[in-house]
Structure 1
Amino acid sequence: MIKQKFLNLIRKYSKNEDYNLDCWNELENNYSSRSRYYHNLEHLENMFSELDKVQSEVKNLDCLLFAIYYHDIIYKSTNSDNEHQSALRFENRISKTSFTKLNECMLQIEATKEHKLSADNDTNILLDLDLTILGKSPEEYKNYSENIRKEYHIYPDFMYRKGRKKVLQSILELDFIYKTDYFRKAYENQAKENVRLELHQLNLV
């Protein structure tokens, strides 16, 4: 499904089918890396599933779709600039098509680093889509947190706990985790409960 969605998207701006398939194959290979337990194709599928609920609110759908596909194309647990590198990879690939909203899309991808409220509602939707897992059932959240730990397996527990607690604290310090009304109503309370529980468990160790 997500392969066909991507090909339908890029074909609007590129008639070079070999290139279009090359772009998809790169996405698929990167998101299917053996080192990815959460930031994988299933993550993209979940984002698209959630997008269906708010698609009528999106102003520039194609830009948002490209941002979803490319926001984690580069993901290494040892890097601090994954979002920037992902934006550059998007630019490198999609600049070879006739798509003209490159800067807007790059800004959306970069915004997934700090998840700050944006003046652009499409960006806020992207940020919320990226974090819907936080507001899912405790069982789903537990599976997510365990998969994140696997992605950072090279770090010893004491280092991982320190970094993870910092991330969770920063989430709880936000006025709202979710920037848009729909996702705030759907997931805010459960997300805060899930994050607080994980933080509590990390503090017990």
Structure 2
Amino acid sequence: MDVEIPEPIRAELTRRWDEPHRRHHDLRHLREVLAALDALHVAGLTFSERPTVLAAWFHDAVYQPLSSANEAESADLARRMLHDDPDRDEVARLVESTLTHDPAADDANGIALSDADLSVLGADAARYDEYAANVRQEYHRVPDPLFRRKRRELLAEFLSREHLFVSLPARALWESAARANLAREIEHLS
């Protein structure tokens, strides 16, 4: 998908995604989310490309591992930086929706962004293990027993869902591998 992003915005967001404290929520994650949006589009998922791609760029633009305000602050950043853009409000809404990854059934843009953001769960085992290790590095200040317990709980909650991904194309692309990866990590954390 070729969405034009003004150079000053692209430069500022790239700088943010490249902050030294990031291990998973970095430029690689952004590139993978954008690639996943492409894959979903090619697989037939229909969504509004421009606001969804812009939301991918903004969705973790503000990121501190222990903060519960990352999505809200990233959405506020989108509102400020896209102050006169016609897609501003939709981009901010989509960024905020990544807090729960629970888009409404009729929210095509939210479904695309949520599924793309979670696509790393369905990566090959080596990439998934690298992702999991990077998440642990981001939360290095959390004591290991607490991290392991909370991470197990989060992964078990994901596995309890009927589907990890909302769209049929995402399920076809990543669901099976994601379930295997999550189960393997839970076993490792136990």
Instruction: With the length of structure 1 as denominator, give the TM-score of the two structures.
Output: 0.85
Match of 2:124 in 1: 137
Partner of 2:168: 181
Q: Work out whether 1:81 is the aligned partner of 2:79.
A: no
Structure 1, unaligned runs of 5 or more: 11-19
Aligned twin of 2:89: 103
Larger Rg: 1
SS at match of 1:134: helix
Letter in 2 for 1:83: E
Comparing 48-57 and 125-134, the one that deviates more: 48-57
Is 2:24 the partner of 1:62? no
Provide, for residues 80-111 of structure 1, a one-character-per-residue CA deviation record: whole Å limited to 9, x for no partner.
1211111111111101x3x2232222221111
User: Quick check: 1:90 aligned with 2:86?
Assistant: no
Q: State which of 134, 151, 160 in structure 2 corresponds to 1:164.
A: 151
Contact 2:164–2:175 (Cα < 8 Å) also in 1: yes
CA distance in 1 between counterparts of 2:177 and 2:129 reads: 13
2:20 is aligned with 1:34: yes
| Distance across 1 between alignment mates of 2:5 and 2:16 | 19
- For 1:109 and 1:197, how far apart are their aligned partners in 2? 29
CA distance in structure 1 between the partners assigned to 2:52 and 2:46 by the alignment: 8
Rounded to whole Å, the distance in 2 between the matches of 1:68 and 1:88 is 14
Residues in 2 aligned to 1:9 and 1:27: alpha-carbon distance in whole angstroms: 10
Question: What TM-score do you get using the length of structure 2 for normalisation?
Answer: 0.91
- Determine if the alignment matches structure 1 residue 44 to structure 2 residue 30: yes
- RMSD between superposed Cα atoms in Å: 1.7
Shift of 1:157: 0.4
Output the CA distance in 2 between the equivalents of 1:177 and 1:63: 23
Correspondence for 2:141 among 138, 154, 166: 154
Aligned residue type for 1:177: L
Q: Distance in 2 between matches of 1:159 and 1:191?
A: 24
Runs of 4+ in 1 over 6 A off after TM superposition: none
* Matched positions, count: 187
SS of the aligned residue for 2:15 comes to helix
Matched ranges for 1:186-205 at <5 A: 186-203=173-190
* 2:40 and 2:170 in contact (8 A); partners too: no
How much does 1:139 deviate?
Answer: 1.0
SS of the residue corresponding to residue 52 of structure 1 reads helix
The amino acid across from 1:112 in the alignment is T
User: Where do 1:119-130 residues align within 5 Å?
Assistant: 119-130=106-117
Task: Give 5+ residue unaligned stretches, structure 2.
Answer: none
